Copies of this chain bind each other. A is one copy, B any other.
Amino acid sequence: MNTVGRLTIAGLGPGAAELVTPEVAEALAQASDIVGYGPYVDRVPARPGLTLHASDNRVELDRSRLALDLAAQGRDVVVVSSGDPGVFAMAAAVFEALEAGDPAWRTLDIRVLPGVTAMLAAAARVGAPLGHDFCAINLSDNLKPWELVERRLRLAAQADFAMALYNPSSRSRPWQFARTLEILREEKGAETVIVFARSVSQPQETIAVSTLAEARPEQADMRTLVIVGSSTTRLIVRQNAPPIVYTPRRCDGGAG
């Protein structure tokens, strides 16, 4: 353990152990303390000398301050995120806490270790829907006005980006994804491909491929990553296997 303390913000990937990078596995093996949301901390095997600090959802700043404080005490701390820590996950929260907190925290050894974020794992399961230009939008309006989400959805449709939509729905946000589908139907063709990828790489994984015309709001929950195709996204139909969804590299630019 470093005497000056170290803080590592690590991505565990979407769930399966075989998607955890060796770099992250090594950081977990070296750590004195693991800090994170309970279900993610549960993915780290207990061992002597390792202290697990599991916390509830939606207390990201408290969790970040705990991690920074432990590192400042000389501990070797790993903050764990699902997916990639820099994509709608813990890295930004830690840096918010760092910037607003004890100036001494700025002298800590801090590093971010990337991971396989949900959209990449989901895209891989169906083919290559993000094979051309795309965007990633967090549909949660907990930390931004819903009007901004709507504006970004419309501009992204006009740019003809494929879209990865994170956090489409939860108990506290019951209507937002239904509204998202309405906006996408106004801006994009009814036959646009939409993919619902739930709990990718975990035992309960489910994948559904549909169209904007047929998609229903209840197909997305808090464990679902939604991918919406661009105007060029295609299906390859196969016998005895699900269709392949992909967006060709070539685009003539007519759509938008």
Contacts and interface: CB of A to CB of B under 8 A. Distances in A.
Contacts of A159: 135, 151-152, 155-156, 159
A76 interface: no
B133 A133 contact: no
11 contacts: A13-B21, A92-B246, A92-B247, A106-B239, A107-B238, A114-B120, A143-B250, A143-B251, A144-B252, A145-B252, A155-B156
A236 B241 CA distance: 50
A17 interface: yes
Nearest to A139: B133
A148 B161 CA distance: 11
A91 B158 contact: no
Interface in A213-256: 234, 236, 238-241, 244, 246-253, 256
Interface in A100-114: 106-107, 110-114
Contacts of A110: 244
Interface of A: 13, 16-23, 26, 60, 84-88, 91-93, 95-96, 98-99, 106-107, 110-117, 120-121, 123-125, 127-138, 143-145, 147-148, 151-152, 155-156, 158-161, 234, 236, 238-241, 244, 246-253, 256
Nearest to A238: B106
Nearest to A61: B249
- Point out which of A16, A124, A239, A247 has the most chain B C-beta atoms below 10 A from its C-beta: A124
A86 B93 CA distance: 28
Nearest to A137: B133
Given A107-B238, A107-B239, A238-B107, A248 B92 contact: yes
Nearest to A236: B99
Contact of A16 (B23, B107, B129, B147): B23
A95 B13 contact: no
A249 B133 contact: no
A86 B130 contact: yes
